[in-house]
Amino acid sequence: MEDPIRKIAITTGGGDAPGLNAVIRAAVITALNLEWEVCGIRRGYSGLLDEDTDGIERLDRRAVRGITHLGGTILGTTNRGNPFDWPVERPGGTVTSVDRSDELLANFRRHGLDALIAIGGDGSLYIANRLYQKGLPVVGVPKTIDNDLACTEVTFGFHTAVETATEALDKLHSTAESHERVFVVELMGRHTGWIALYAGISATADVILIPEIPFEIEKVCEKVEVRYASGARFAIIVAAEGAAPKGGAPVYREHAGPGRNARLGGIGEWIAREVAERTGHEVRSLILGHLQRGGQPTAYDRLLALRFGAAAARFVAEGRFGTMVALDSTGMRAVPLAEAISQIKRVPPAGEIVRTARDLRISFGD
């Protein structure tokens, strides 16, 4: 018989997303009902490595009271805390990385922890899977506003991000119309265009540009001209940050380095410049950025996050380690972490939602 669970830990890693606190609360309450002790690891996996600081805290009923509706994460997070690729500064200022995973495992055991609930996106769950392969009992929960994790119908945080983006696009409409301008709005979506697609259609954008459908700038300009010629003398172009022209590459602000992800950003500005030069219309661009990651989760995301958290604790109780909680039409199920991280969930270019957009005469610039 396997050892009974007595003490578990929870961690939140990668970019924050609305609903993280609701997952934590549901996992903690479900675990406490099972009479387990629960700890929170601060700042992703870093709390198990930076032990001189407040790396680990006890999560009791009081610690998770009144947090369901709050954005962010009470545990803090980082997207620079990969224990397998930990950045270290060498004399002279160069930064390299070292593998601190053995140290992490040793600290996990030293704290008497029996299992880990890892809430994260592709990066954090990739780390979770590697730790699982090294013997750490882990259950993952899919988090990302980008909605790009495979094996689950949806990730929590996505719905709230779409609401925020739609509201922003709605607000821009009045200025675009009053000034007869073209607005280019860059939304988050590193590899996929889920936010751009959902918010773009909901806010009746004229052009939606996503990484899954490489675009031609000429076609984007054509759509703008058709609109102006029809009497609607303004246009809204929505671009996912990872969108790229046919044969071109996404625009990066910062390239990846030891322990550090690449940062996308700037495609919107490029499109705006091109459209202004080619059409002569007045064009403005903006990047909605981290506003999409903040704020209170919508009721949909709260419920989803609470379901994910409770299911994660149940899966720990059932010993279903090395899995990720996933939503499908039947409810919550456990899918192997390895499967969930083996690919990303892209927008199907020939799918029904893209088709709906095309039926509504929204251009994808292709």
143 binds ligand F6P (CB under 6 A): no
Residue 12 binds ligand F6P (CB under 6 A): no
Q: Which of 159, 181, 190, 314 binds ligand F6P (CB under 6 A)?
A: 190
Nearer to ligand F6P, 38 or 145 (CB): 145
Please state, in angstroms and rounded to a whole number, the distance separating the CA atoms of residues 9 and 117. 6
User: Residue 291: what are its φ and ψ, rounded to 5°?
Assistant: -55, -30
**Least distance (Å) from ligand F6P to the CB of residue 264?**
5
Among 15, 55, 193, 200, binds ligand F6P (CB under 6 A): 15
Give min distance, CB of 90 to ligand F6P, in A.
24
Pairing relation of β-strands 331-336 and 115-120? Answer: unpaired
Question: CB 52 → ligand F6P: shortest distance, Å?
Answer: 25
Residue selected from 41, 113, 139, 188 as contacting ligand F6P according to rule CB under 6 A: 188
Residue 354 CA to its chain's centroid (Å): 21
Q: Show the binding pattern over residues 265-304: x = contacts ligand F6P (CB under 6 A), - = does not.
A: ----------------------------x-----------
Binding span for ligand F6P by CB under 6 A among 66-74, 96-104, 163-171, 184-192: 184-192
Q: How far apart are CA 86 and CA 100, in angstroms?
A: 7
Task: Spell out the residues 6+ positions from residue 358 whose beta carbon is closer than 8 angstroms to its own.
Answer: 364
Residue pair 316/9 in contact (Cβ under 8 Å)? The answer is no
Q: How far apart are the first and last CA of the chain?
A: 59
Comparing CA positions, the residue from 72, 70, 76, 66 lying closest to residue 29 is 66
Burial 213-232 (b: 16+ CB within 10 A, else e): bbbebebbbbbbbebeeeee
Interface pattern 75-94 for ligand F6P (x via CB under 6 A)? ----x---------------
Rounded to whole angstroms, how far apart are CA atoms 271 and 281?
A: 13
Nearest to 258 by CA among 51, 17, 86: 86
CB atoms under 10 Å from CB of 177, counted, come to 14
Please state the separation of Cα 355 from the chain's center in Å: 25
Q: Which of 39, 145, 169, 203 binds ligand F6P (CB under 6 A)?
A: 145
Cα-based angle 262, 272, 254 (whole degrees, multiple of 5): 15
| Residues near ligand F6P (CB under 6 A), total | 13
| Closer residue to ligand F6P in complex, CB, 84/252 | 252
Chain center to CA of 214 = 22
| Cα–Cα distance for residue pair 275/48, rounded to 1 Å | 49
> What would the x/- binding string for ligand F6P be over residues 316 to 355, using CB under 6 A?
----------------------------------------
**Is 146 assigned a catalytic role?**
yes
Q: Least separation, in Å, of the C-beta of 195 and ligand F6P?
A: 8
Catalytic residue among 16, 114, 122, 146: 146
212 binds ligand F6P (CB under 6 A): no
Nearer to ligand F6P among residue 261 and residue 279 (C-beta) = 261
| Residues forming the site for ligand F6P (CB under 6 A) | 15, 79, 121, 144-146, 188-190, 241, 263-264, 293
